[in-house]
Amino acid sequence: MKILVTGGAGFIGSNFIRYMREVYPDLFITNLDKLTYAGNLDNLRDLEGDSHYRFVRGDICDLQIVNELMSARPDAVIHFAAETHVDRSIHEARSFVETNVLGTYCLLEAAREQRVERFVQISTDEVYGSLPPSGRFTEETPLSPNSPYSASKAAADLLVRSYVHTHRFPALITRCSNNYGAYQFPEKFLPLMINNARLGKKLPIYGDGENVRDWLFARDHCRAIDRVMRKGRVGEIYNIGGHNEWQNIEVARLVLKELGKPESLLQFVQDRPGHDRRYAIDAGKIGKELDWKAETKFEDGLRWTIRWYLEHEAWLDQVTSGDYRTYYERMYAKR
Ligand code: NAD
Ligand code: TYD
């Protein structure tokens, strides 16, 4: 069997490729990634020289390269590639529209042309918008994206849906909650908190810190994607989540406690515009249909993740050098 993964040099994509190589020794994986600031070949350094893994640098908006890869008729396409950071989408949305919408269109067209038999669109719970203090997102929750990032993901999901409906294209959509684990770029909340805490820097908490996210360990997520890829029903949407809700401030405190750092490092900063208050996933459908549930207890996964970053300080130092500093100086100058 052979699969094409897009965005495999990023956080979840690299975890997914490593997971699949471990679980399926005979599987061939091609990874198409543009290597934006978020993509990093170091995330898969251990697979260099693996005869079952091939990296191709390229843009999913480039139909020539996408057509070429699809003509190898992969058994499945797992589409992770995206611009993913909400804060960046507030400052500059064009690349989100290009990659997340146009890029998904290019993949769909090429996959349809080559009669690819399975296409998994990796989406997000953020397409559903924000929840009040109670209730959870189901697959029937109306789409109500609030940021340019989530709007571009919702647009891509609708395009996928239209290909299923109009062209009988064999796609499935997964919508997961906030992932955490190894190799997450430290602009996202958890690795940012860990990185700043280890360096004794302030931990920027947006607004009152009481926004809630439903944390999902990346490896549990990879297991779910594998199950959807192999056993999911074409045309269906599967929500993936950890039933694991925490306020941001609680998570930041746990990080400080684990690292033995003082709470005086917490710094409340100006809120993100349009900041979604709460996300929570109802993962009942994937549980019932595909016998999946999140297995990692948050406290264990968090401890493992913190240890991973501490053991990979060189990785952290490398990805937070250069442009990263410029980005943060610009972001925080505005707050
Ligand atoms: P990431 O930002 O860590 O990685 C994205 C990858 O896509 C990078 O390797 C980047 O180089 C690549 N990429 C970007 N534009 C590209 C293009 N035009 N062509 C080819 N490659 C390109 O993202 P992530 O956190 O791993 O997220 C992966 C997917 O999961 C995304 O589709 C995202 O919307 C979705 N998702 C992520 C989370 C989360 O918590 N991280 C939650 C829900 C959904
Ligand atoms: P983030 O990792 O950007 O993911 P999401 O896509 O869910 O917004 O942020 C997670 C939560 O943490 C979100 O409520 C915003 C908040 N946050 C902070 O409080 N401080 C920060 O520096 C960042 C990046 C996020």
pLDDT tens digits, one per residue of 227-247: 999 999 999 999 999 899 999
For the stretch 160-193, pLDDT in tens is 999 999 999 999 999 999 999 999 999 999 999 9
The best mutation among 137, 187, 189 to test binding of ligand 2, ranked by most ligand atoms within 8 Å of the C-beta, falls on 189
| Contacting residues for 146 by C-beta, under 8 A, at least 6 apart | 126, 129, 130, 274, 276
Please give the Cα distance from 203 to 197 (Å, whole number).
7
Query: Within the chain, how many helices (H) and strands (E) appear?
Result: 13, 13
The answer on pLDDT for 225 being more than 80 is: yes
Residue 290: C-alpha distances to residues 174, 223, 230, 284 (Å): 13, 11, 10, 10
* 276-298 pLDDT per residue, tens: 999 999 999 999 999 999 999 99
Taking CA atoms only, the protein residue closest to ligand 1 atom 33 is: 84
Centroid of ligand 1 to alpha carbon of 100 (angstroms): 9
- For residue 294, the tally of other CB atoms under 10 A from its CB is 25
Q: Give me the helix-helix angle, 218-231 and 11-23, nearest 10°.
A: 60
How sure is the predictor about 254, in pLDDT bands with cuts at 50, 70 and 90?
Answer: very high
The ligand whose atoms approach the alpha carbon of 207 most closely is: 2
Closest among 125, 122, 265, 241 to 192, alpha carbons compared: 265
pLDDT tens for each residue of 23-41: 999 999 999 999 999 999 9
Helical residues (DSSP H) of 200-320, grouped into ranges? 218-231, 248-259, 284-290, 298-311, 313-319
Query: Which parts of 83-201 are beta strand (E)?
Result: 119-124, 171-176, 179-180
> pLDDT grade, residue 322 (50/70/90)?
confident
Active site residue ranges: 125-126, 149
Structure confidence at residue 162 (pLDDT): 98
Report which bound ligand comes closest to the CA of 152: 1
* pLDDT value at residue 307: 98
Which residue owns the Cα nearest ligand 2 atom 22? 204
Residues 6+ apart with CB under 8 A from 13: 5, 6, 7, 31, 33, 80, 81
Whether the predicted pLDDT of 328 surpasses 80: no
DSSP 232: P
- What's the pLDDT at 333? 57
Residue-level pLDDT at 264: 98
CATH 3.30.450.40 is the classification of domain 2-180+215-240: no
- 138 C-alpha to ligand 2 centroid (Å): 22
Residues with CB under 6 A from ligand 2: 86, 126, 178, 188-189, 192, 204-206, 211, 213, 248, 272
> For residue 1, what are its two tokens?
């069997």
The number of the ligand 2 atom at minimal distance from the alpha carbon of 248 is 12
- Closest CA to ligand 1's atom 42: 178
Q: How far out from the chain centre does Cα 290 lie?
A: 21
Mean pLDDT for the stretch of residues 318-322: 89
Q: Stretch 62-70: mean pLDDT, rounded? A: 98
Backbone angles phi, psi at 26, to 5 degrees: -95, -5
Cα 136 to averaged position of ligand 2 atoms, centre (Å): 19
**What pLDDT is stored for residue 242 in this prediction?**
82
Of 254 and 326, the structure prediction assigns the larger pLDDT to: 254
Question: In which band, very low, low, confident or very high, does the pLDDT at 44 lie, cut at 50, 70 and 90?
Answer: very high
How many CB atoms neighbour CB 134 within 10 A?
7
Averaged pLDDT score across all residues of the chain: 96
On the question of pLDDT at 323 being above 80, the answer is: no
- By most ligand atoms within 8 Å of CB, the mutation choice from 12, 87, 237 for ligand 1 is 12
Q: Give the pLDDT confidence of 198-222 residue by residue, as tens digits.
A: 999 999 999 999 999 999 999 999 9
> In the predicted model, is pLDDT for residue 21 greater than 60?
yes
∠ Cα 170 146 8 (to 5°): 45
